[in-house]
Amino acid sequence: MSPTEAPSLSQAVAMAAGELTGLPETPRRGRGLSLRTLIVLRWLAIIGQTSAILTAYFALHFPLPLMPCLAAIGISAAMNLATMAKARRIDGSLPDGPRTAAQLGFDILQLATLLALTGGLANPFCLLLVAPVTIAAAALPARQAVILGVMAIIAVGFLFSWSLPLPWRLHEHLELPLLYRLGLGLALMTGVLFTAGYAWKVSADAEKLELALATTQDVLQREQRLAALGGLAAAAAHELGTPLATIQVVAKEMLRAAPADSPEAEDAALILQQAERCRAILKQLSDKPAEDDPLFADVDLKALLEEVAEPHRGFDLVFDIALKAPPGQPVPRIRRLPEIVHGLSTLVENAADFAVSRVRLTAGVDAGWIEIDIMDDGPGFSSEILPRLGEPYVTSRPQAKARRALADQIAAASAGRGGGTGKGRRAAPPPVTAPIAPSQGGMGLGFFIARTLLERSGGKVSVGAGQDESGRPRGARVTVRWPRQALEVAVPAMESATSSGGT
């Protein structure tokens, strides 16, 4: 496509995908826990607390304040019954951040009360203060998790400064040294901070990966829908052929019956001309078959490289496409999978954005493997990005050349329609001064999606430094390598012999 033509459908789809992935990062999904989960967890805590209190009082004969302890547990049970009643009125299976924070805050206060009645930091069950904060860090926004963490630390400080004596055997008194209790308090605070921070980091990474995988699925579904449009177009062309033929027949009869050089004859000729144009368009549409057509479900390896490079030609870049195969062997035909087309297109787009003047696409074939190298003459991968390349939300992409050139095309086309001086003439494109929206990889998802799609097709993606034509290190290199049987389409022996003899 020349730089002066209007943008093609594939470029428009790429722009739409870029606008979708360039949106601001969405808030974390699934914040909080469902009320049903909180109810189950609290019943388990109530059962455990009741068992521990009754065992210590009746089996071990520890002189603990039984009634205040049972009252604290009873308040927790009443709170759980009220929560169950609320869950019946609303959908208790949906996560709710504020309710989760309130419930966990109540659990911290109730547990701190029980600990204060049973020895404070000398009670080995004080370790349970870590649990609500860890749950909050994994399931709640950072602000609410921090508030609950501060509550737990305040509770530790309160238990250090005041608590009833630790219940022990009759006529014996266990008093821990002050320094030891201080160490327990500091250890508990450190455990709260470390465990909560670790849980928050793991949850955040898992959530980013989940969102990136969901985006990958969306891209793949969009590619499959676009591929299905070819079949719809072919079906529409077939259905429209009959009424179009009828229009042509009627138009010919009108032209034959109308006097020469009359307005009616001109109208009939125009109808015939436009009907013939429609027939040509329908023929072109019907020539683009459905993806599952066995004659077109596969593609020549070099043609695939031409297809993924075509949208970027003409944007002040030179594309070198080469194929390396053993002498005397035919070029293999491979399955044209949406995953491969989109993945390679994204890698070529990345190379075009960073390249100075040249992008090289090389396909290599041997007995067991099919390998595609994509190299550019840009600055290459930075040392900070290279170890993390392939992870979601890792990017250092500049403004895309293709997007900038496409904006120039649109501006030039608009100027040509509005300010042309004559038929067939187009005004010079004005300079584009408006900021260009970031391209498809602006969020750091482009390479991640491409790598995921290509590895799903059976390929292995590796990255490194590129080389120029003289073999010196320059630019970046991305290599995709598939087992040959994973991509190659089996060609019947007779057809293979015919194609070899023809060449």
Least confident of 25-34, 143-152, 225-234: 25-34
For the cut 60, the answer to whether the pLDDT of residue 215 exceeds it is yes
461 vs 311 pLDDT, higher one: 461
Per-residue pLDDT band at 448 (split at 50, 70, 90): confident
Please compute the mean of the pLDDT values over residues 172-199 and round it to a whole number. 91
Nearest to 330 by CA among 486, 488, 483, 500: 500
DSSP string of 27-38, one letter each residue: PPSS-S--HHHH
Please compute the mean of the pLDDT values over residues 335-361 and round it to a whole number. 88
CA atoms within 13 A on the CB side of 332: 23
Q: Is 115 exposed, middle or buried (0-12, 13-18, 19+ CB in 10 A)?
A: buried
Question: Residue 438 has what pLDDT?
Answer: 36
Question: Residue 92 has what pLDDT?
Answer: 59
DSSP string of 106-159, one letter each residue: HHHHHHHHHHHHTTGGGSGGGGGGHHHHHHHHHHS-HHHHHHHHHHHHHHHHHH
For the cut 50, the answer to whether the pLDDT of residue 78 exceeds it is yes
Question: Residue 341 has what pLDDT?
Answer: 87
Question: Residue 11 has what pLDDT?
Answer: 42
pTM of the model: 0.51
Nearest to 122 by CA among 68, 59, 185, 79: 185
What does the alpha-carbon distance between residue 233 and residue 240 come to, in Å, rounded to a whole number? 10
Question: Residue 285 has what pLDDT?
Answer: 62
> How would you write 182-236 as a 3-class SS string?
HHHHHHHHHHHHHHHHHHHHHHHHHHHHHHHHHHHHHHHHHHHHHHHHHHHHHHH
What lies within 8 Å, CB to CB, of 112 at 6+ separation is 129, 155, 158, 159
Question: Residue 75 has what pLDDT?
Answer: 96
Per-residue pLDDT band at 19 (split at 50, 70, 90): very low
DSSP character for 321?
E
For the cut 50, the answer to whether the pLDDT of residue 16 exceeds it is no
How many of the other CB atoms lie within 10 Å of CB of 234?
18
Mean pLDDT of the chain: 78
Sign of torsion over alpha carbons 372, 377, 378, 380 = positive
Least confident of 207-221, 304-318, 411-425, 475-489: 411-425
Please report, for residues 104, 177, 184, 186, the alpha-carbon distance to residue 156 in angstroms, rounded to integers and kept in the order given: 16, 17, 9, 9
What does the alpha-carbon distance between residue 126 and residue 110 come to, in Å, rounded to a whole number? 12
pLDDT tens readout for residues 294-309: 445 788 888 899 989 9
Question: Residue 500 has what pLDDT?
Answer: 46
Structure-token match 């009125």, residue found:
89
